[in-house]
Structure 1
Amino acid sequence: MAHEAVEDRRARLESLSTPVGPLNIDAPLATVKDRRHFRTVAGELVPTSARRKLHAALLGRWRDSSQDLRSARRATLFAGPPAAGKSTLMGASNTHLADHRRIDADDFKTLLLQSAVEDGSIASLIPRPLRDNFEEQFHPLELSALVHRESTILQERALSDAMRAGENVAIDGTLGYMPWAKDLVRQLGDFGYKIHVIDVEAEEELSLARVVTRWRTGYENALADPHDPTAAMGGRWLPASAVTRLFATGRTVSHCEMNASEIAFNFSEVVKYDLYRTTAPMEPPKHEQSWSRDRSGEWTSP
């Protein structure tokens, strides 16, 4: 597909992802705003009976996708901006993560959107003016923002279940929001977990470019093979603001990197900290430095 056409599509999606746009995480058609799916009780989102049934089915499917797990109460906590290369490391065959249960809100976004495709409700996520424009087609993963809040509910449930079982877990995230990061580490500590923080960094401009490349690959695959269910999901759309909010103006170090370092060196539950950095659009992350606690609890670095 011509670069101009893809760029036009990217710009169109970006324009729909503003704080008041229809592809914003708090847009009126987000699944948590649909009273068929959720109620708000005492300020908390509570799924309806039918939605709880769907959640149970999706969590069951998700659990069945992982095998040969260990229950040694080890947690690997990933940090870093989107598309920096966290999934590359998580999926590598030569790591210790093969026996970890992967917990990633993006996996639940995919499951929720696949379910919407299967039951025909996917169209209800698109505002009618856009739905009725036959010249414009939305692939399911381009609607990821509309299941964002619901996916985090599933992620929290999945993590809670895994911690109760003592399973090793690999948690994919950015650590861009420090209050959430601290709560997560404390929660893992309360369940007796030892934590390994892996921070995978990329500069803002590179992260933005890799996000677009990831979306474009999925978008072009969907156009090339629309009858393949996996390809037809398209590329997961992420607006530029999801990256730029993680970088302070004029600084090259992300909030993720600062938070990961602070978490690692200030919480005794963290026993190892690795820093990786991605410096090119198509290159995997490169290991930069490693720290680990010795028997006395002091940090050492090779």
Structure 2
Amino acid sequence: MTTLADAHPIAPRRELAALVHAESTEVIDDVREVCLQRRENVVIEGTLQWGPLGDFLMAQLSEHDYTDVRIVDVEVPASIAHEQAVRCWWEGRLRGISGRDRMGVRFTPPAAIARLYEKGSVSRCAAHARAAFESSLAAAITQVTLIHIDRRLGAEPLVSRRVDGKLVEGR
């Protein structure tokens, strides 16, 4: 087993989660499809770092006759995203070492975070969330709400809403 500089082994369940990412994505896709077929209320968590995912999800929700969809985009500066990722991982690692949490916490490489901010101070995830909200696929859903929370500015969340195809902007 690989040991890190702190003389403790890697927590195999979460610190190595990237090794099984494709398989876990397939499993969650299957679970989501079952939930959508049952018309259950669902929370779909993701970064929307892959552009087409927003359209795919909007199409899937529309296909299953969902009428009220909310997209939440929380933005932080890249520096804060890096700090939070390291802090979350390290605190989870310490819980694992102490025996309080044997699962560990997923490690997110700095390069993965940096790729999200290649085009400026706002992540590409925000652009993808906005694109999903504005897409023709979202227009087929009775009400789609985009809640943009910018933790860089300390401002109130910006809420954009599309009701019956008409865009209503506001705070």
Q: Same fold (TM over 0.5)?
A: yes
1:42-61 pair list within 5 angstroms? none
| Superposed displacement of residue 253, structure 1 | 1.2
Structure 2: which amino acid aligns with 1:248?
E
Match of 2:21 in 1: 148
Whole-angstrom CA distance in 2 between matches of 1:296 and 1:187: 18
- CA offsets 1:82-130 (integer angstroms, 9 cap, x no match): xxxxxxxxxxxxxxxxxxxxxxxxxxxxxxxxxxxxxxxxxxxx6xxx4
| Superposed displacement of residue 294, structure 1 | 4.3
Match of 2:113 in 1: 243
Maintained 8 Å contact 2:144/2:162? yes
Evaluate the alpha carbon distance shift between residue 212 and residue 286 of structure 1 in structure 2; reply closer, same or farther with a 3 A threshold: farther
Q: What is the SS of the residue equivalent to 1:245?
A: helix
Residue 132 of structure 2 corresponds to residue 263 of structure 1: yes
Instruction: State the identity %.
Output: 25
| Superposed displacement of residue 166, structure 1 | 0.2
The number of equivalent residue pairs is: 162
Whole-angstrom CA distance in 2 between matches of 1:258 and 1:208: 19
RMSD (Å), alpha carbons: 2.2
Higher RCO (CA-CA < 8 Å; seq separation 6+): 2
Task: Using the TM superposition, name which of 270-279 and 174-183 deviates more.
Answer: 270-279
Structure 2: which amino acid aligns with 1:175?
L
| Superposed displacement of residue 197, structure 1 | 1.0
Counterpart of 1:185 (choices 35, 58, 70) is: 58
- CA offsets 1:259-278 (integer angstroms, 9 cap, x no match): 11121123212521111123
Structure 1: which amino acid aligns with 2:75?
E
Q: Which has the larger radius of gyration?
A: 1
Evaluate the alpha carbon distance shift between residue 287 and residue 158 of structure 1 in structure 2; reply closer, same or farther with a 3 A threshold: farther
Structure 2: which amino acid aligns with 1:259?
H
Q: What is the SS of the residue equivalent to 1:262?
A: helix
Maintained 8 Å contact 2:160/2:167? no
1:16-35 pair list within 5 angstroms? none
Q: What is the SS of the residue equivalent to 2:166?
A: coil
Maintained 8 Å contact 2:85/2:108? yes
Maintained 8 Å contact 2:8/2:97? no
Whole-angstrom CA distance in 2 between matches of 1:278 and 1:151: 30
Match of 2:103 in 1: 233
TM-score by length of 1: 0.49
Whole-angstrom CA distance in 1 between matches of 2:8 and 2:43: 38
Match of 1:215 in 2: 89
**Structure 1 unaligned residues grouped into runs of 5+:** 1-125
Whole-angstrom CA distance in 1 between matches of 2:16 and 2:117: 25
Match of 1:75 in 2: none
- CA offsets 1:155-176 (integer angstroms, 9 cap, x no match): 1011000000000111100111
Q: What is the SS of the residue equivalent to 1:276?
A: strand
Q: What is the SS of the residue equivalent to 2:157?
A: strand
1:269-288 pair list within 5 angstroms? 269=141, 271-279=144-152, 287-288=156-157
Structure 1: which amino acid aligns with 2:44?
I
Q: What is the SS of the residue equivalent to 1:235?
A: coil
TM-score by length of 2: 0.84
Residue 137 of structure 2 corresponds to residue 137 of structure 1: no
Whole-angstrom CA distance in 2 between matches of 1:152 and 1:162: 15
Maintained 8 Å contact 2:17/2:106? yes
Maintained 8 Å contact 1:294/1:300? no
